[in-house]
Amino acid sequence: MAFPRRRGLRRVAVIPAVAGLVLAAACSAGESEQAPGVSSQPCPGSAHPDRGCLYLGVLSDLADGPFSALGSSMNEGQLAFWNQVNESGGIGGYDIDITTHSRNTSLDPGRHRAGYAEIEPNVLALAMSFGTSQTIAMLNQMDADNMVSTAATQWSGWNYRSADRNLVLSAG
């Protein structure tokens, strides 16, 4: 019966991180403007018309790359998690959407960078950047864009500020 406890621990760890993103967005945006990826309008298809929407991006091997089975499974897990968060009241008056700005990168570094460039102006953060070298290759641009991400990789370097510039939350 250790599994339910672990799932609860993950939830406890992720919710403050996202709540911090909401607060950071609120603090960095002026009163008349909202941060990218933050909308007072409901998420597409939301059952909660009284809530705004936080858009998080996903860059992963979702269909036709060498790790598509893993990338798709991880994405399905995130969808289930965020659906549960939304059903439980959302976060700070917002639901979370990770489908609108999800891109299949097939674990290809060029597609990863192109996908990032496409979604970056429209997301608050990246819910998942799948691939160690793909995410490392984007760190300069992420730093310039003030973008944070959860990395779906096993690299221990995400635990060190000197390696990830405090932009990547390890979630492997």
CATH number of the CATH domain containing 90: 3.40.50.2300
Domain residue limits at 16: 2-170
| DSSP secondary structure letter of residue 91 | B
pLDDT tens digits in sequence order for the chain, 172 residues long: 344 444 444 444 454 555 555 545 444 444 446 789 999 999 999 999 999 999 999 999 999 999 999 999 999 999 999 999 999 999 999 999 999 999 999 999 999 999 999 999 999 999 999 999 999 989 999 999 999 999 888 888 888 899 989 999 876 5
How many domains is the chain built from?
Answer: 1
Q: What b/e string do you get for 81-104 counting C-beta neighbours within 10 Å, with b at 16 or more?
A: bbeebbeeebbeebbbbbebbbbb
